[in-house]
Structure 1
């Protein structure tokens, strides 16, 4: 299947809507590097050299399941990662994020939320294994007291001192919320059983 794409993945010059002169008139400073004498990378930027490739556009990797794709691009890159396929609620949230442009904060904030949902799901799944997550050892809290964590911060000009007070909130907060939610659920179940 050979496509003739007009996207950023093709090395050839793209068809632009406006000419250089029109862009220069509309955008101050546009095209400052058009003159090859102003670009240090110019003898290397040659499109007329033989590459040895047997294709002008690489063969496309088959999609075994639909992949997330930015709305700025016509299609997924010819080769893409498959090591972490979308799954469950976090996958649905990630798919939703790709409805927004990568230039919008909503896209990235939704992806961050999906990561948090995925992390929470991983923590919950760990409780059903032989080695559940241990927040004391896996977050590095113990090393604060045994590996000079506090003394390495006191009297130093470290940039992370401002956010040091918030670190316990972000580390312990989700565990405290999960514990509180579990307590409320168990209490309601016990009340339902009694009545």
Structure 2
């Protein structure tokens, strides 16, 4: 069973100073108070954490919340602004339930969930009174009005090397979606004849 980091008095380190110094190069370099710039202002109280609680009060709604598999419980305070939903929510739940935060699969699934969520939002916008407008929302109009092209020359910008990819990455999915919609519409029209 994992220990919880959310207690006022965390367990002490079981390794001695000599063991830590042997295992970690440079460990304990600041043990001598003369080597620390903050000494004598700091107050040394190694057994006093400053916490005024034994365990923080749990925020309501922690049941069925996703959390790292490294911990047994949900952190006492967590965000609730964007609840998981749809296919993207299922992808994120799978990332939390299946993989440790130390695994690349965990983070790659969360990134995939973010991209799927963006497309779910785009699709939902088409059912609303104000659908997404890829021309104005990508900032392509600012290229002319805010000297976009001129700002790329004569300065050492780190993004110059991959700027040719930007239209493909930003506009490519919209062009592909438009092509699919055109092909489906064309097929339906031909069937109707």
* Length-normalised TM-score, structure 2: 0.82
Between structures 1 and 2, the one with greater helix share: 2
Unaligned runs of 5+ in 1: none
* Length-normalised TM-score, structure 1: 0.81
CA contact (8 A) 2:143 2:149 kept: yes
Note the alpha carbon deviations across 1:73-109, whole angstroms, 9 max, x for none: 2211111111111111000000111121112221111
The equivalent of 2:123 in structure 1 is 124
CA contact (8 A) 1:61 1:79 kept: yes
RMSD of aligned alpha carbons:
2.8
The alpha-carbon distance between structure 1 residues 132 and 16, as it changes in their structure 2 partners (threshold 3 A), is same
Matches of residues 81-100 of structure 1 in structure 2 within 5 Å?
Answer: 81-98=79-96, 99-100=98-99
SS in 1 for 2:152: coil
Of structures 1 and 2, the one with the larger relative CO (CA 8 A, separation 6+) is 2
The equivalent of 2:25 in structure 1 is 29
Matches of residues 12-161 of structure 1 in structure 2 within 5 Å?
Answer: 12-14=9-11, 16=13, 18-25=15-22, 27-29=23-25, 31-32=27-28, 35=31, 37=33, 43=42, 46-49=45-48, 51=50, 53=52, 55-63=53-61, 66-98=64-96, 99-161=98-160
Distance of 2:20 and 2:73 partners within structure 1: 27
Unaligned runs of 5+ in 2: none
